[in-house]
Structure 1
């Protein structure tokens, strides 16, 4: 299993990482309607989703391997007068008791490891998520340009390569899946929606497309 490596947020120049994802509004409304209260923002980055869910009345715990990211979130939360519990930690060993959270969001996070690390992280998610709790997670597709051209990169295992296009992600592992992988790894969950594959393009050069799955599941 590869050692976890944090994003270097000090090199980030993209303000989009401060804007909640389009899915977060749906998630907040859906989870409120189900009486969910406590949410984990797993791999919170600079804190965009943590702030959003705290503003919408959730009790939020936020974790990230990046101390820079956690410090940014703490300053942001203080400015907005929001209470958010934060910790620097590795997703491979979450510092929470069993059955702690009603819901978890992991946006562009747990595919930053290899296959063994992905399985370990998913086990940690299952441990801290309550029965019938929900998980929204994004996973990077094997149809992404970088995986289709994996010979350009250092390969870790059949699903994992090290990429180096962006300074924030330099030498951070990327674990890729297809729909059959998703079915295999999420056998302990019920699918709320059919996983959707979405395409994004690099603004610098449109050939560098990235495809992600949005996965919405409920713990059995």
Structure 2
């Protein structure tokens, strides 16, 4: 299993990572309607989703491997006068009791490992999620340009490569899936909705594109 590697958020110059995703807006309302309260932002980065869910009156816990990211969130939450529990930790070993959370969001997070690590983090998520609780994740598709041109990257295992095109995630492992993989790795969960595969193009050079699965599952 490869060693987990944090994003270097000190190199980030894109405000994209400070604005909640459109999925967060939907999830906050959907989860409030189900009376979910305890929320885990797994791999919180700079804290955009932690802040958003705290403002929506969830009890928020936030974890990330990056000291820089957690420190940024700490300053941001103090400025907004929000109470957020935050810790630096590896997603492979979550510092929480079993059955702690009603809902978990992991946006562009749990595929930053190899196959062995991916299986371990899914088991960690299952451990800390309550029965009937829900998980939203994004998973990077094997239909993405980088995996289709895997010979240009260092391969870790059959599903994992190290990418080097962005300074923030230099040599961070990327684990790729297809729809059959999604079914296999989440066989112990119920699918709340059919997984959706979305494509994002690099508008400066549309030859390059990224494809992700958006997945919502429920712990049985």
Q: How many residues align?
A: 220
Inter-partner Cα distance in structure 1 for 2:192 and 2:11: 36
**Structure 1 position 206, deviation (Å):** 1.4
Output aligned runs, 1:3-82, within 5 Å.
3-82=3-82
**Structure 1 position 25, deviation (Å):** 0.9
Q: For each residue in 1:131-187, what CA deviation from the matched residue of structure 2 results, as whole angstroms up to 9, or x when unmatched?
A: 000000000000000000000000001100000000001000000000000000001
Partner of 1:140: 140
Secondary structure of the corresponding residue to residue 93 of structure 1:
coil
More displaced 10-residue stretch of structure 1: 155-164 or 195-204: 195-204
Secondary structure of the corresponding residue to residue 79 of structure 1:
helix
2:188 paired with 1:188? yes
Secondary structure of the corresponding residue to residue 24 of structure 1:
helix
Partner of 1:130: 130
Secondary structure of the corresponding residue to residue 77 of structure 2:
helix
Partner of 2:152: 152
2:160 paired with 1:165? no
Inter-partner Cα distance in structure 1 for 2:216 and 2:62: 19
**Structure 1 position 204, deviation (Å):** 3.3
Partner of 2:96: 96
Inter-partner Cα distance in structure 2 for 1:202 and 1:68: 27
TM (normalized to structure 2)?
A: 0.99
Query: Structure 2, unaligned stretches of length 5 or more?
Result: none
Partner of 1:118: 118
Query: Structure 1, unaligned stretches of length 5 or more?
Result: none
